[in-house]
Structure 1
Amino acid sequence: MTSTNVTISSTPDLRHVLTKDVNKTILENGLTILLKEVHTAPVVSVQVWYRVGSRNEALGLNGITHQLEHLMFKGTHSRPVQFGKLFSALGSASNAFTSYDMTAYYGTVGSDKLETLLILEADRMQNVALTAEHLASEKRVVISELQGYENSPDYRLSKAVMQQAFPESNYGLSVGGNKSDVEQFTLDQVQEYYQTYYQPSNATLVITGDFDESTVLEQIQTYFGPIPSHPVATAPAPMSVVTKTAPSAPIVLKEPGSAPLLDAVYPIPDAQHPDIPALEILDSILSAGRNSRFYPALIESGLATNAHAYVASLMDGGWYNISVTAAAGELSEIDQVVEATLEQLRSQPITLEELERAKTQVKAGFILSNREIENQASQLAYNQIVTNDHCFSDRYLRGIEAVTPTDVQRVAQTYLTPTQRTVGLFEPTQLEGQPMPAGIPATQTAENFTPSEPVDPAQVAKYLPDLATSAGSDTQSLPERWVLDNGLTVLLLEDHSTPTVTLSGHIRAGNQWDYLTLGGVASMTADNLMSGTTSKDDLAIAKALENRGASLDFLSLREGVDVSGYALSPDLPVVLETLADVLQHAIFPQQLLDLSRQRMLTHLQLELDDPGALARRTFQQKIYTQDHPFHGFPTANSLKNISREGILRFYEQHYRPDNMILTLVGDFEGAELRSHLKRTLGQWQNPRSSTALNFPEPQMPPTIQRVNAPLPGKTQVVTYMGYPGIERHHSLYYAAMLLNQIIGGDTLSSRLGTEIRDRKGLTYGIYSYFAAGLHAGPFAVQMQTSPEDTQTAISSTLALLKQVKAEGITQSELETAQRSILNSYPVDLADPDILAQRFLMNEVLGLPIEEIRHLPQRIGAVTMAEINQAIEAFIHPDRMVIVSAGPVDVIRS
């Protein structure tokens, strides 16, 4: 098929996409400020990055940076309230992360909340109220988080490999810390660390979005200018790489698990080294897509189900990582294939076609990843913190453009040698043996299960200036809705703010249709749409996209297949032509189906060894009966029995134009695009009649039902609590949204978050949600806990839900939840991916196209009477299914 250009947009000069019009200012106290006005939506991103990470930690203090990050949300001397509650009241999408070189705090709000966010960030730069009580509570939370990581064999293997690869460097330590160090942190140590590194001269403040630069600079001077600075302690010596003269023996972990893993690390230079661009190109050639070197050698050969690699380029050095999940192959054979593939790079130059494809992928990926103001701010902050030059990405992209085949061969010869690597092998043992008895220490037996008083929103409000609710979405542009003659529905919204296009689609061919056949048919069909058509094989299909840095993916979910695509605007025709081809002409070659089946079987093994996935699966099968389509999941037996004929029947029955909705948001001309869609998708026909699903309504459990799924070798328990919920068209849907926001919609500001995480420190994260779609999905509470805390957390959750059932909520809580949702709504819609998905799902659910404008009004109109009706209808703490998956049998009847 030939490509037809449907847009007049031209690709911009990549060197200036991000850093153009950035204003850099340094205050007298040393604070670096980066400002970039982007007036595409009334939102701003505010980020404060500190040049302190695990690289700064002294012996015995591994994890103190991460611990302090948690404590930064506990309140300040002038605002002694959980900052998550303040951010929630602003409608801010706020969070934080710790890495090797930095700690970052970020939030995105409506433009009218910018000054308030600046006030809060300035307040906690040096004014956090560090107390023994807060430290003890957050230690438990951090340890819960670390134990959650330890549940993953990938994490345990990587941890062992990094420690051996960098024995003399903090880069060999886990960023999150280790349990023994965290347990010993003292308040004095944390305070000293805070006072040393949290100061203006060690920080970068970045703001991107809809604001006036001169006004914001005055505000920054007012709130951050008076904060004092002092010299920052130097970090430990830069990473020293021990030069090896011979390959080291592999690290071998033999532990409970489900799939063999390989993890290899090769030390490389720091982020500013001139060899980094060539290493990035090498990485793309090795691992990016079906036309990469690893794909035929490892995936297409059937040796592995996944092969992933990345370049980690940091302040003092870095590494190249290769990780492989084995299928039928032995790890030793996979190791040999990896080394043989690297030897090809060392001994022979790459082709010019490979080089150009890799350059295009890197450059297009840079543009696509920096469409949102949050990502723009993060990239600018990374540039400044790691290289002390906010324009570093300009140099990086120039370096990418200059890479030659000789450069790629040279860096392969220099860094990716057998003698320099450290390799680890995870060999899973059989999942057998009896679970150990629950060990709840005596200090826990007298725990108070009665919830504390719910947070008074008025107490939160007094620490914020008077705020108006963000303006409604009455002015939100609506897409053009268009139905082709064959029944395919299209939604088009032009947005010329960036030279990109987002494609979102939905096909009524999701996992619920497995109910009529075998578990896994829907997923296997979606996974293999790109495996070949009547005119192209899988490599040709992939090459057409990969040569342009574009993407097109299909993922089968419960109620439908999610279609997602991204491209620079000149390349949209290729994405659409590929989409049209695979939807109409897929042939599902037997060899690739067999490889897909093996990948799905390996994924199933991994899922059944993951506490979160196993708990969710068990929970859903418990609350839905076998005659309901939400009950079913793939099994090893069902996957083995899926035939090519069965896949073709499913494809021919369910992949039809009147089963599909397609949404496009971005840089295109609507008239040209409509013409193109009519040519490529207008001829799609399916003479078969559509199939309907008929099944009974799910029933509430009569009493509390507890199920435990023990998993040897795990350190954390994941628990799901709940029952069948509501569908999207329920008359109390908006009341349910608000009720959930109050109960558990936010892990820091909700009642569950306040009680279970913040006050008691029993969990790293706890959430609740209504999965309301075309059919009634579950209402669920999800949490991750240490084994000794699981029973306490469950009992506390039940007590809190009983309190809500008996006493209801307050008018102040309702108003706060309304403001939180209404303030965050325009922030969400500023993201083109979220906007496209909102348009799409409203159409899927049969809602009017104006729903995106009307939702704020409907949320604001919910009354206390409707909330009370929702509590009566939806909150049933005495009729919950409770499923826990993890290392021990922690549930007591």
Structure 2
Amino acid sequence: GTPSLGVGEIARVTKANGGYLNAGTIYDHTHYYAVLPSTGFAAGLAVQADAYANSLIDASELARELEVIIEEAKRKQDNPTALATETLFELLHDQHRMRRWRIGREAGLRTLERAHVDRFYRNFYRPSNTVLSIVGDVDPDAALALVTQLYGGLADAPVVRTPGPAERTGAAPAFRYRELSGDIQQAELVFGWRTPALLHPDTPALDLVSAVLSSGRASRLYRGVRERRLASSVNSANYTPTDLGVFTMHIVARAELAVPAARAAWDQLRCVRDGAVTTDEVDRARRVLEASWLRRFATMEGQANHLASWELLGGWERAGDYLDALLSTDAATIADVAQRYLAPELGGLVAYRPASAPAFAIDAAMMRERLDAERPAPLAVATRPGAATPVSPARSVTLDRVDGAVRVYRTAEGMPVLVQRRSGAIGYLGWFARGGSSTDAPSQAGLASMAARTALKGTQRRGSQRLAEDAEFLGGVLSSSASPDLLQFTLSVPVRQMADAAELLGDVVQRPSFLAEAFEAERAVALASLASMRDDMYRWPMRVAQEAAWAGHPYGRSLLGTDETLARMTPDDLMGFHRTHVLESSGAVVIVADMDPDDAAALAG
């Protein structure tokens, strides 16, 4: 609170003006944001300015909030992914503050007093250390005048910084390994390497390495680990706070498959270092990253966060330099940075296994031997998709009515096509129908979800890899889901790719192949996801509560089904579901894009 706004009033006033707010802190910055309609801008900004300049660090409120934070810290210890990841940061760093448990631990948190927090607030919350970004339907001159009025008179002073110790250099590199065990059902393995900060010239290439490895279903880790049923989840990231970076590969797998899954991921990174990545793979990854870059501008919140985060790094214009470097990186550069930063001897691995499982390795040397013992079969070479499979000419659609900004068309068969023109670089297409998991019989729980996910594994015209490559070369994100009452397939792409995207989405909705191999891969993932849910201290209690609250009703069942219903399921069951709930249903197409509505509607014909 502040002298003029009591506890809870900041959120209440923001909500009363039609908005919401949130805040967060990570390793190198703290952010606050409010999202409101333009009519609430002045009131919302006044609230934010008051909170920024006049916060009261009330001792009793601090004590209550500390108890909340301490409980959150305890829950984090119960989160297998968080525990493994932050243990990796500790393993990789001997001196840097990155090695500390970010949220703090109970003993240290209980020593915090009002004076500590107030001193931090008064030192860092100063105009010269703060960026304010405003994006939306507001007059720039009026907004600047209001900012000057609210913030212009605030006192400023240099910020006193106490940087922690830097990492020692010069020591001989050596692979690091730590193994943990606990009351979990799935193993978590996190590889890591130290990398440079975001503004380093090698960072765009390292980010592209991560995209080649794990962005999309055509990526190397997805095909080489998940598609081979070695893990339920696998991804990579190059996390780059202000003065350092950490490149990670994260795997969730059954304990008996954990080492083979780690070996497969390890091998794909070796392929990157050895120069096996093709020009087509790099092009696919660049397109995926470029489209992801554009998606952040789809909302006012995304644009404001983009401007503020880059301005903190020395100027929002630097974002353009980073993007240019990213999109000009080639396969040779990827191999070069992987060799220099992601070499085996520079890495580390944290393995967190179920206590009931035998140890994976007794030390780093033994784990290196297991990782290098046997190379998995190589992946099929990823190539640029050829021309799209010819399809029948689009049939006409007719305008039915106009409801505000939405134009409703009808196909010749009567299916509604809803179109809204909205400015932006990304277009969205979706097919929606009533009836998701609530249509599953109790003996077939999880059927709707399995059908939706497996439909993305290939069609009668496109195999699994071709489908993934076609979508990702469009810069697209293809997804499907089955909630209790809704079945949906969606695809978002840069607007210039909308015609090809419509053909691809139509192929997925109308002609999924449901091959046995794809079905088995998705069933393995579903079973692993059920096991992971039981390790989650939030999702599992919620699942139990939901089952009790909706006893005997479809809403009480897990969208994933159960171990027993998944074991009984067959590809024929998926085909039957698709026939009844997709081909024979009364679905609707929704298109939101910056294009002529008539042209957009014609894509659904």
The two structures share one fold, judged by TM-score above 0.5 = yes
Aligned-partner residue type, residue 59 of structure 2: A
Bigger shift: 502-511 or 600-609? Answer: 502-511
The 5 A counterparts of 1:161-200 are 161-200=88-127
Assess, with a 3 A threshold, how the Cα gap between structure 1 residues 631 and 223 changes in structure 2: closer, same or farther: closer
Partner of 2:310: 383
SS of residue in 2 equivalent to 1:304: coil
Partner of 1:525: 451
Q: Is the 8 A contact 1:303 1:328 kept in 2?
A: no
Assess, with a 3 A threshold, how the Cα gap between structure 1 residues 156 and 592 changes in structure 2: closer, same or farther: same
Partner of 1:510: 436
Q: 2: CA distance between counterparts of 1:97 and 1:232?
A: 20
Partner of 2:361: none
Q: Is the 8 A contact 1:304 1:329 kept in 2?
A: no
The 5 A counterparts of 1:198-237 are 198-237=125-164
Q: Is the 8 A contact 1:303 1:329 kept in 2?
A: no
Partner of 1:30: none
Partner of 2:464: 538
Q: In the TM superposition, what whole-angstrom CA distance separates every residue of 1:108-129 from its partner, at most 9, and x where no partner exists? A: 1122322222222222223211
- CA RMSD, 1 decimal: 2.0
SS of residue in 1 equivalent to 2:243: coil
TM-score by length of 2: 0.88
Per the TM alignment, residue 275 of structure 1 is displaced from its structure 2 partner at its CA by 0.4
Partner of 2:417: 490
Q: Is the 8 A contact 1:310 1:322 kept in 2?
A: yes
Q: Among residues 598, 610, 616, which one is paired with 2:524 in the alignment?
A: 598
Partner of 2:371: none
Per the TM alignment, residue 524 of structure 1 is displaced from its structure 2 partner at its CA by 0.7
Q: 2: CA distance between counterparts of 1:239 and 1:560?
A: 52
SS of residue in 2 equivalent to 1:250: strand
Assess, with a 3 A threshold, how the Cα gap between structure 1 residues 249 and 390 changes in structure 2: closer, same or farther: closer
Partner of 2:498: 572
Q: Is the 8 A contact 2:236 2:249 kept in 1?
A: yes
Assess, with a 3 A threshold, how the Cα gap between structure 1 residues 79 and 582 changes in structure 2: closer, same or farther: closer
Aligned-partner residue type, residue 143 of structure 2: V
Partner of 1:733: none
Aligned-partner residue type, residue 474 of structure 2: R
Q: 1: CA distance between counterparts of 2:205 and 2:187?
A: 31
Aligned-partner residue type, residue 348 of structure 1: G
Per the TM alignment, residue 237 of structure 1 is displaced from its structure 2 partner at its CA by 4.4
Q: Among residues 42, 65, 76, which one is paired with 1:149 in the alignment?
A: 76
Per the TM alignment, residue 324 of structure 1 is displaced from its structure 2 partner at its CA by 0.5
Aligned-partner residue type, residue 588 of structure 2: I
Q: Is the 8 A contact 1:499 1:569 kept in 2?
A: yes
Per the TM alignment, residue 413 of structure 1 is displaced from its structure 2 partner at its CA by 0.3
Partner of 2:187: 260
* 1:647 equivalent in alignment to 2:601: no
Q: 2: CA distance between counterparts of 1:289 and 1:532?
A: 14
Q: 2: CA distance between counterparts of 1:593 and 1:328?
A: 22
Q: 2: CA distance between counterparts of 1:384 and 1:518?
A: 52
Per the TM alignment, residue 92 of structure 1 is displaced from its structure 2 partner at its CA by 1.7
Aligned-partner residue type, residue 459 of structure 2: T
Q: Among residues 275, 297, 305, which one is paired with 1:370 in the alignment?
A: 297
Q: 1: CA distance between counterparts of 2:446 and 2:488?
A: 16
* 1:305 equivalent in alignment to 2:232: yes
Partner of 1:715: none
Q: Is the 8 A contact 2:493 2:501 kept in 1?
A: yes
Q: 2: CA distance between counterparts of 1:84 and 1:526?
A: 39
* 1:551 equivalent in alignment to 2:477: yes
* 1:582 equivalent in alignment to 2:508: yes
Per the TM alignment, residue 357 of structure 1 is displaced from its structure 2 partner at its CA by 1.2
Q: 2: CA distance between counterparts of 1:244 and 1:555?
A: 50
Per the TM alignment, residue 516 of structure 1 is displaced from its structure 2 partner at its CA by 6.2
* 1:351 equivalent in alignment to 2:278: yes
Q: Is the 8 A contact 2:406 2:419 kept in 1?
A: yes
The 5 A counterparts of 1:627-776 are 628-633=553-558, 634-656=561-583, 658-678=585-605
Q: 2: CA distance between counterparts of 1:211 and 1:425?
A: 51
Q: 1: CA distance between counterparts of 2:311 and 2:165?
A: 18
Assess, with a 3 A threshold, how the Cα gap between structure 1 residues 673 and 191 changes in structure 2: closer, same or farther: closer
Q: 2: CA distance between counterparts of 1:544 and 1:668?
A: 22
Q: In the TM superposition, what whole-angstrom CA distance separates every residue of 1:320-374 from its partner, at most 9, and x where no partner exists? A: 1110111475322222222221111112252111111111111111112212111
* Dislocated runs of 4+, deviation >6 Å: none
SS of residue in 1 equivalent to 2:20: coil
Aligned-partner residue type, residue 146 of structure 1: A
Q: 2: CA distance between counterparts of 1:612 and 1:574?
A: 40
Q: 2: CA distance between counterparts of 1:238 and 1:571?
A: 49
Q: Is the 8 A contact 1:588 1:644 kept in 2?
A: yes
Q: 2: CA distance between counterparts of 1:505 and 1:169?
A: 49
Partner of 2:546: 620
Per the TM alignment, residue 589 of structure 1 is displaced from its structure 2 partner at its CA by 0.9
Per the TM alignment, residue 319 of structure 1 is displaced from its structure 2 partner at its CA by 0.9
Q: Is the 8 A contact 2:490 2:505 kept in 1?
A: no
Q: 2: CA distance between counterparts of 1:182 and 1:545?
A: 47
Assess, with a 3 A threshold, how the Cα gap between structure 1 residues 315 and 516 changes in structure 2: closer, same or farther: closer
Per the TM alignment, residue 154 of structure 1 is displaced from its structure 2 partner at its CA by 0.8
Q: Is the 8 A contact 1:247 1:419 kept in 2?
A: yes
Partner of 1:719: none
Question: Of Structure 1 and Structure 2, which has the larger fraction of its residues in helix?
Answer: 2
Assess, with a 3 A threshold, how the Cα gap between structure 1 residues 217 and 417 changes in structure 2: closer, same or farther: same
Q: Is the 8 A contact 1:171 1:239 kept in 2?
A: no
Q: Is the 8 A contact 2:417 2:588 kept in 1?
A: yes
Assess, with a 3 A threshold, how the Cα gap between structure 1 residues 282 and 423 changes in structure 2: closer, same or farther: same
Assess, with a 3 A threshold, how the Cα gap between structure 1 residues 636 and 196 changes in structure 2: closer, same or farther: same
**Larger-Rg structure:** 1
Aligned-partner residue type, residue 231 of structure 2: A
Partner of 2:16: 89
Q: 1: CA distance between counterparts of 2:598 and 2:410?
A: 14
SS of residue in 2 equivalent to 1:565: strand
Q: In the TM superposition, what whole-angstrom CA distance separates every residue of 1:831-868 from its partner, at most 9, and x where no partner exists? A: xxxxxxxxxxxxxxxxxxxxxxxxxxxxxxxxxxxxxx
Bigger shift: 200-209 or 479-488? Answer: 479-488
Assess, with a 3 A threshold, how the Cα gap between structure 1 residues 254 and 328 changes in structure 2: closer, same or farther: closer
Per the TM alignment, residue 599 of structure 1 is displaced from its structure 2 partner at its CA by 0.4
Assess, with a 3 A threshold, how the Cα gap between structure 1 residues 427 and 244 changes in structure 2: closer, same or farther: farther
Per the TM alignment, residue 318 of structure 1 is displaced from its structure 2 partner at its CA by 0.9
Partner of 2:366: none
* 1:132 equivalent in alignment to 2:59: yes
> Structure 1: where are the runs of 5+ without partners?
1-74, 432-474, 679-893
Partner of 2:355: 429
Aligned-partner residue type, residue 635 of structure 1: T
Q: 2: CA distance between counterparts of 1:166 and 1:505?
A: 48
> Structure 2: where are the runs of 5+ without partners?
358-401
Partner of 1:409: 335
Higher RCO, Cα 8 Å, sep 6+: 1
Q: 1: CA distance between counterparts of 2:168 and 2:426?
A: 41
Partner of 2:205: 278
Per the TM alignment, residue 245 of structure 1 is displaced from its structure 2 partner at its CA by 2.9
